[in-house]
Amino acid sequence: MHDIIQLLPDSIANQIAAGEVVQRPASVVKELLENAVDAHARHIQLIVKDAGRTAIQVIDDGVGMSENDARMCFERHATSKIKQANDLFAIRTMGFRGEAMASIAAVAQVEMRTRRRDEELGTLVRIEASEVKVQEPTSTPAGTHISVRNLFYNVPARRNFLRSNAVEMRHILDEFQHVALAHPEISFSMHQSDLETYNLPAGKLSQRIVGLFGKQYRDQLIPCQEGTDYVAITGYLGKPEFAKKTRGEQFFFVNKRYVRHNYLHHAIMTAFEGLLPDESFPFYTLYIEIDPAHIDINVHPTKTEIKFDDERAIYAVVQSAVRKALGMHHLSPSLDFDQSSDFLFPSAREQENPLPNTTPQDQPGNGNTSGWAKGSGMQNLPNGSVITIESDLRRQHNRQNWQSLYQDFQRAFPTEEVQQPEEPEQIVLTLASKVNRLPGDPAPQPAESIETETIAFQIHNAYIVTQVSNGMMLIDQRAAHERILYEKFLNTLSRRNGTSQQILFPKVVELNPADFELVMEIADEIRGLGFEIGVLGRNTVAVQGIPADVPVGQEKELLEGLVEQFKWHQSELNLGKRENIARSLARRSAIRHGHKLAVTEMQNLIAQLFASSNPNYAPDGTPTVVILTLDKMGSFFTK
């Protein structure tokens, strides 16, 4: 038999490696910007055309490369960052694997011009699909100019998997922000299709944050700083009142490398506990300086994951630093002195009115044997006899608790307000689903209907209770309303006939560049729902109208929540655009737990829910209704 194992050609091996390193145009931007930083550049320029599909250019004024280095940088595992295995645990540079340039050159047409400052001529290298086409001397400014064109031109399948220009541009902006935030001492500029997107001069970190995210950030930044012998924390936090419904403005940098770390994010969210509205996310940009020997960054090809040798210590320092910063600016939650902390018997009333014949000297712990005997029901009298004292106060306290519970129940169902008419009206609902049938019950005929009582009521303003033929129905008002709105929005999107309610004073919403690109991508669809949005300037929109079914008053939160939910669905569920928008808007527009409903509103909600195509479940699959049958209720009271 012939041998079947063979060594792959370099071109194929490079394409395989490119599948891990170069996933989309943003991956190219990340690698080229980080190389420019490692080259000690003072100014870096990024030019992007057609969201990176047509061209990506990075121009820097760094140290440049010699003729041999210019050719060697396109070979696999060729790097100037490390020389031996121990260097992996002392990495201070952005790159170190020596795979990026070889991977990019395997799936694109690359041209590089580079020159050292002490040389008169530079080097021009053109390479396509790992094959060197041109290498010759050239006249070029000091530094390096790399142009990547026609990404994935020789891998059509990979090119077809790219998303829309708005999505790809959003990822490019994210990578640009990460590198620019990590190095405020370097000047950055970015051009998108011949239009300047950013022009960031070198300066302080606070100036870089304002330059990237807008002038409104000047008033919300809180400095954060903490240092130990093991780790040092610096950076800025956003004030809680400026928290957004959208993620994406939370940044961790370890030794100036952007990383994602859910564990440390939890530390910050815990420190903000009690200060943020529900489902809101604060802005933060935190820098962790630590000895490279205590971390491992060789975890993932994208180098955005990191491991610490003592994560708990880092967690504690980060949490302490955030709490200290919030406390110094008087933002920590204060104690509620009106709230009673007397949870244990005897009650405060008993302590204020002690039983007769007891004095402070008779209390336990004072060394007096004449006080309360062990057991709390016995008392030593002066003559030495012992009598048993009934705990009347405790029983009285329990009785008062039950009376208060009963009074709360009476207030929830006031008998004097429920007038019984001579002929009680009944609303007849035809429940088309199986939710009102036991597994063994025969299926009802289409003409059969289930009579329900006219009165439905809420429990804790979160769940609706109503009577059905075989027991009691419990409805989650938020999940039910989400199901109703989802089907309505999906139908409106298919017909593009959404009605809009105008806002008297349009709401101005500042978005980060990535979210702005996303809003522009889905602008036609959300206009079909009834939104009216105008562009005011860079990354700024004005909400002039919202769908008629959405309550007025929280237009800014609604748009930010729609964007955040859309991004989550896009990344986690990979939904189509229409279904994604319908789900996202339904999720953000549905009534919340804690919202009080009138009886007619509850009845309408029930009727609309069971008129939907799938009343049993919300769009995300969570149940909307639960049936508590008579047999089940009876089992609670039997032995």
Buried b (16+ CB within 10 A) or exposed e, 600-639: ebbbebbebbbebeebeebbeeeebbebeeeeeeeeeeee
pLDDT along the chain (639 residues), means of 10: 75 70 90 93 95 94 93 83 68 75 91 94 93 93 95 87 83 93 95 88 94 86 92 94 82 92 92 84 94 81 81 93 89 51 40 43 42 42 43 54 51 46 46 46 41 70 90 92 91 81 85 80 84 84 85 79 78 73 86 89 90 90 91 86
Helix then strand count (H, E) for the chain reads: 18, 26
Indicate whether 151 and 79 sit together in one domain. yes
At 61 the pLDDT is: 95
CB contact at 8 A, 150 and 56:
no
Please check whether residue 195 lies inside any domain of the structure. Answer: yes
Indicate whether 181 and 232 sit together in one domain. no
- Residue 519 belongs to a domain with what CATH number? 3.30.1540.20
- The residue range of the domain holding 478 is 424-639
Q: What are the CA-CA distances from residue 577 to residues 515, 522, 569, 589 (Å)?
A: 15, 8, 10, 18
Indicate whether 155 and 256 sit together in one domain. no
- Residue 321 belongs to a domain with what CATH number? 3.30.230.10
Please check whether residue 3 lies inside any domain of the structure. Answer: no
Indicate whether 222 and 174 sit together in one domain. no
Indicate whether 245 and 295 sit together in one domain. yes
Please check whether residue 75 lies inside any domain of the structure. Answer: yes
Q: Which residues, in sequence order, are CB contacts of 286 under 8 Å at separation 6+? A: 224, 233, 234, 235, 237, 251, 252, 253, 268, 318, 321
Indicate whether 250 and 168 sit together in one domain. no
Indicate whether 230 and 185 sit together in one domain. no
Buried b (16+ CB within 10 A) or exposed e, 192-214: beeeebbebeeeebeebbbbbbb
Q: What is the DSSP letter of 8?
A: P
Buried b (16+ CB within 10 A) or exposed e, 319-345: bebbbbbbeeeebeeeeeeeeeeeeee
Report d(CA 601, CA 618) in Å as an integer.
Answer: 19
Please check whether residue 433 lies inside any domain of the structure. Answer: yes
Please check whether residue 449 lies inside any domain of the structure. Answer: yes
Please check whether residue 416 lies inside any domain of the structure. Answer: no
At 568 the pLDDT is: 73
Indicate whether 227 and 323 sit together in one domain. yes
- Residue 194 belongs to a domain with what CATH number? 3.30.565.10
Buried b (16+ CB within 10 A) or exposed e, 158-185: beeebeebbbbbbbbbbbbbbbbbbbbe
Buried b (16+ CB within 10 A) or exposed e, 460-476: eeebbebebebbebbbb
Please check whether residue 389 lies inside any domain of the structure. Answer: no
Indicate whether 196 and 209 sit together in one domain. no
Q: Count CB atoms within 10 A of the CB of residue 132.
A: 12
CB contact at 8 A, 82 and 225:
no
Longest Cα–Cα distance of the chain, Å, equals 114
Among residues 328, 352, 373, the one where a domain terminates is 328
How many domains would you assign to the chain? Answer: 3
Residue 544, SS3 per DSSP: strand
Distance, first Cα to last Cα, the chain = 78
* Strand-by-strand arrangement of the 250-254 sheet: 221-227, 231-238, 284-290, 250-254, 257-259
Among residues 328, 352, 370, the one where a domain terminates is 328
CB contact at 8 A, 329 and 225:
no
**Look-up: residue for tokens 């005997």?**
373
At 328 the pLDDT is: 87
Indicate whether 611 and 479 sit together in one domain. yes
CB contact at 8 A, 102 and 87:
no
Indicate whether 496 and 468 sit together in one domain. yes
Sort residue 88 into left (φ over 0), alpha (ψ -120 to 50) or beta: alpha
Among residues 200, 226, 259, the one where a domain terminates is 200
Please check whether residue 211 lies inside any domain of the structure. Answer: yes
Q: Which two tokens stand for residue 130?
A: 């790992």
Indicate whether 90 and 225 sit together in one domain. no
